[in-house]
């Protein structure tokens, strides 16, 4: 790394992004996948019961319908379907099991449960959205913020 951006500046930018998420975000439940390698090894034979999750309460800023111009500015080139974009606070979340404040890093396969009052009408019966991609843009020295691409979560029922 070239160390062109001082660590103090990176910390200040992260804090500014966190303040934005805290002020304009919504409180959601985040389910972080604990065993992605096990689920990946099972491939198409993975059942919903094979996944285990840790539950957190987090602030999330969600952009339900970004414009094509905004997406191009983020380095995303979409043809037809517009993705749902989300940003989490980089510093902390509340662990639902004991209320302790911890640092979390959402991974692909994790999902959020959003309050239905904030979900647009086109997702009327959906309140769970899975993280399908992690986008890191404009990085030179250090990751300042991450943007997450969400999709409605589909859980296939196990047959008995």
- State the pairing for strand pair 84-88/147-152: antiparallel
Q: What are phi and psi of 116, to 5 degrees?
A: -60, -25
Is residue 89 domain-resident?
yes
Residue 34 counted as domain residue: yes
Rounded to the nearest 10 degrees, how much is the dihedral formed by the CA atoms of 45, 110, 95, 10?
Answer: 150
Here the tokens at position 7 are 């660590």
Q: What is the pLDDT of residues 107-140, one digit of tens each?
A: 888 999 988 888 888 777 888 999 988 887 666 6
CB-count burial class (<10 Å; 0-12, 13-18, 19+) for 6: exposed
| 8-25 tens-digit pLDDT | 888 888 888 888 888 888
Domain that includes residue 88, residue range? 7-112+130-140
Residue environment code for 50-63, b if the CB has 16+ CB neighbours within 10 A, otherwise e: ebeeeebebbbbbb
Q: What is the pLDDT of residue 72?
A: 67
Across 15-43, average pLDDT = 84
**Which tokens is 50 given?**
């094979």
Determine the Cα–Cα distance for residues 142 and 160; give it in Å rounded to an integer. Answer: 48
Give yes or no for residue 103 having a pLDDT over 70.
yes
Segment 46-77, tens digit of pLDDT: 776 777 888 888 889 888 876 666 666 666 66
pLDDT of residue 3: 65
Residue 42 belongs to a domain: yes
pTM: 0.77
Question: What is the tally of structural domains in the chain?
Answer: 1
Residue partners of 152: CB distance under 8 A and separation at least 6: 123, 126, 128, 129, 130
Mean pLDDT over the full length of the chain = 78
Calculate the alpha carbon distances from 66 to 13, 57, 136 in Å. 23, 25, 17
- Please indicate, yes or no, if residue 16 is contained in any of the structural domains: yes
147 belongs to a structural domain: no
């Amino acid at each position: 790394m070239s160390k062109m951006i001082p660590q103090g500046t990176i910390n200040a930018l992260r804090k500014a992004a966190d303040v934005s998420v805290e002020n304009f975000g919504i409180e959601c439940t985040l389910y972080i996948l604990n065993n992605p390698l096990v689920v990946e090894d099972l491939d198409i034979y993975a059942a919903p019961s094979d996944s285990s999750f840790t539950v957190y309460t987090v602030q999330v800023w969600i952009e339900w319908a970004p414009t094509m111009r905004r997406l191009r500015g983020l380095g995303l080139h979409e043809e037809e379907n517009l993705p749902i974009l989300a940003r989490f606070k980089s510093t902390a979340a509340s662990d639902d099991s004991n209320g302790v404040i911890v640092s979390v890093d959402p991974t692909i396969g994790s999902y959020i449960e959003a309050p239905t009052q904030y979900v647009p009408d086109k997702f009327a019966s959906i309140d769970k959205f899975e993280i399908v991609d992690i986008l890191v843009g404009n990085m030179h020295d250090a990751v300042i913020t991450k943007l997450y691409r969400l999709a409605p979560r589909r859980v296939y029922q196990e047959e008995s």
